[in-house]
Structure 1
Amino acid sequence: MTPDEARTLLEQSLRVVVPDADLTGLGGETDIRERFELDSLDFVEIVERLSQGAGFRIEEDEDLRTIDAIVGLLSRGTPHPV
């Protein structure tokens, strides 16, 4: 998955969980939990959507706070198939 595809997947996932989210101007260092006031259930749902979209399991202990971290993980892939 390219970084652009990864970012699109993240934005799509955020729109489902936080429909009124303003996604304009999000920098790579943006902490998505803070910016969108995600509780743990919302965050787990986003991680699940990312896993399904990427085609591999994302571990909950991954460091996925920032947009750059999420895009990097999705772009690299992981050895844990869904």
Structure 2
Amino acid sequence: MTTDECKQVVLDIIADIAPDEDLSNVKPDVRLRDQLQLDSMDFLDIVMELRKRHGIEVPEADYQQLASLDSSAAYLTPKFNAQKQG
């Protein structure tokens, strides 16, 4: 999976948990919570959906890795790719 595909996975999840958000202008290098109306419960929903839909576990200690689209892709892309090999 490419980093762009990974970013799209995160955006798809956000679109499902926050359907009123306009995701067309999300800046990849800015914290998602600074751009969107996401609270801590929404953030937990993102983590839960990653596990439910894709089998990706994100330990609480790594939550800050999901702050922006860029950091999410950098963190998640190797996890997706390792999963495919397993």
The answer as to whether partners of 1:47 and 1:60 remain within 8 angstroms in 2 is: no
TM-score (norm 1): 0.80
Q: Give the percent of matched residue pairs that are identical in Structure 1 and Structure 2.
A: 28
Aligned position for 1:15: 15
Matches within 5 A, 1:51-62: 51-62=51-62
Aligned length: 79
Question: Structure 2: which 5+ residue stretches go unaligned?
Answer: none
C-alpha displacement at 1:6, in angstroms? 0.5
1:12 positional shift: 0.7
- Structure 1 counterpart of 2:76, from 74, 77, 82: 74
Q: One-letter code of the match for 2:78? A: R
Deviation of 1:51 after TM superposition, in Å, equals 2.9
Q: CA RMSD in A?
A: 1.9
Check the 8 A contact 1:54/1:74 in 2, yes or no.
no
Q: CA deviation at 1:49?
A: 1.2
Matched, 1:5 2:34: no
